[in-house]
Structure 1
Amino acid sequence: MTGCGAKKEDAAGGNAVKIKFATDAAYAPMEYMDKDKITGFDIDFLDAVMKEAGLSYDVTNTGWDTMLTSVQAGKEYQAGISSVSITDERKQTYDYSIPYFESTNMILVKEGSPVKSADDLKDKKVAVQISTTADTLMTKIMGGDNQSLKRMDNNTLAIMELENNGVDAVVADIAIIREYVKNNPDKKLVAIADSKNFESEYYGILLPKGSELKQKLDPAIKKVIEGGAYATIYKKWFGQEPDVKKLLEQK
């Protein structure tokens, strides 16, 4: 589905310049393709933020690697939104908005698997999406040159590899794994949390270094979170209340 070029446009503003966002729409329920339309939590959240900021924008499904490289350049796309975890390593290359979502990684295995935590994955075959925090975490646990760590172009391919018995487990964001397990009960897959090895992460909107857009987005994000719109969107996609207080405490 990478490169479908689907767009969502905001009618707010009337500004002559549209802010162009890149995304990897393969992360249901965060961002994914519904026929020819990009939808998901991130997309609804972005719409609320851009309306609050009074900015016109569009979103294009570019795929993960293209999003990272193009946002870094800051020419074709001025920002990226795609469940991008804020990390110290990425901060060396990008700026971020303030955090807008708390996440963590989870392990996905088949029913009956002996795997109970990330420590059990050291001698197993594991699939992750390349250049994600799951990739970073499992590289530390398994070793960078470990041939049993399979780095896939997206999480859909990683999960397919598990279903086809090519790997013993997948490691990916909690929202993606929970959504897949919920929507595919016939697959007999199990989601495993591991708070010891996988700490909370926070997503931010990805920006080029020195982007002036941050000064416009941050106040709008804060208002969306504090004003109740965030909770409404969160409940729509996850069926529960977000911990807004904890989220606002993050820097």
Structure 2
Amino acid sequence: MASAAHAVTLKAATDPSFVPFEMLDQESGEMVGFDIDILNAIGERAGFDIDLKTMDFNGIIPAVQTGSVDVAIAGITITEAREKIVDFTDPYYDSGLQILTSANNGDIEDIEGLEGKKIGTKIGSTSYDYLTANLGDSTITPYPGSADMYMALMSGSVDAVFYDAPNVGYFAKTKGNGRVKTVGPLYEGQQYGIAFTEGSEWTEAANEALAEMKSDGSYAEIYQKWFGAMPGDSQ
């Protein structure tokens, strides 16, 4: 591992709207969140600094693919299609997709309950792909940012939101508290990875750093800061 005196700065990209993984701290004007802490800690151990830029999620994988950025972290689900064009680290977070409805909605309890309903999701996300593959009869509206789809749900423009579980759960516990609820199981178990440009010399060093963080407890500290206790066996 390199020393703390880093000579290399990597151009990094994230999506500013995937709370609590990455979000803008209004007071400092800096990006904060679980992903930001993870990437900074990995860089500290692997020997690189970060020059972080924000962009819409839809543009992140193409930016890594073309080399306009060196690395991206944005709750990016590892998929076969994405693995063909970027190099992923080992998974650093286990996730899935979940349904969010209004707190007083008793009709929707699972994915079957979304048939014929208006559903909001995010452009370019695996949740959008899942919906289009499994719910052809529903009205699926892709929104550019997660805040937009949550506003649509609370205003009644859509009957449900279907999106990444940690983001949905965080919203239900914070701004949506008392007004929305998560329902049903997790769908399509997913794992998030950090994306490097294909053939990057940094992927292996990042994996080594991540493994160290998991073994020495520093990963757990970052996890607990943003999500509370580490989950045990999945339910």
Query: TM-score scaled to structure 1, two decimals?
Result: 0.85
Residues of 1 paired with 2:177 and 2:167: CA distance? 17
Residues of 2 paired with 1:56 and 1:208: CA distance? 16
Select which of 62, 68, 72 maps to 2:61. Answer: 68
Residues of 2 paired with 1:141 and 1:55: CA distance? 42
| 2:108 corresponding residue in structure 1 | 115
Q: What SS does the corresponding residue of 2:161 show, helix, strand or coil?
A: strand
Q: CA RMSD in A?
A: 2.0
CA positional deviation for 1:194? 2.0
- Deviating beyond 3 angstroms after TM superposition, the runs of 4 or more aligned structure 1 residues are none
* Cα 1:233–1:141 shift into 2, 3 Å: same
| 2:142 corresponding residue in structure 1 | 151
**Aligned residue pair count:** 229
Q: How does 1:1-251 map to 2 (within 5 A)?
A: 12-15=4-7, 17-35=8-26, 36-74=29-67, 76-113=68-105, 114-143=107-136, 148-185=139-176, 188-195=179-186, 198-242=187-231
CA positional deviation for 1:225? 1.3
- Is 1:53–1:220's contact at 8 Å kept on the other side of the alignment? yes
- Is 2:115–2:138's contact at 8 Å kept on the other side of the alignment? no
* Cα 1:139–1:99 shift into 2, 3 Å: same
Q: What SS does the corresponding residue of 2:188 show, helix, strand or coil?
A: coil
CA positional deviation for 1:242? 4.7
More strand per residue? 2
Query: TM-score scaled to structure 2, two decimals?
Result: 0.91
CA positional deviation for 1:83? 0.3
| Per-residue Cα deviation, 1:187-212 (whole angstroms, up to 9, x for no partner) | 510111324xx132110001222222
Q: After the TM superposition, which of the residue ranges 180-189 and 18-27 deviates more from structure 2?
A: 180-189
- Is 1:234–1:242's contact at 8 Å kept on the other side of the alignment? no
CA positional deviation for 1:112? 2.5
Task: Indicate the percent of aligned positions where both proteins have the same amino acid.
Answer: 28
| 1:7 corresponding residue in structure 2 | none
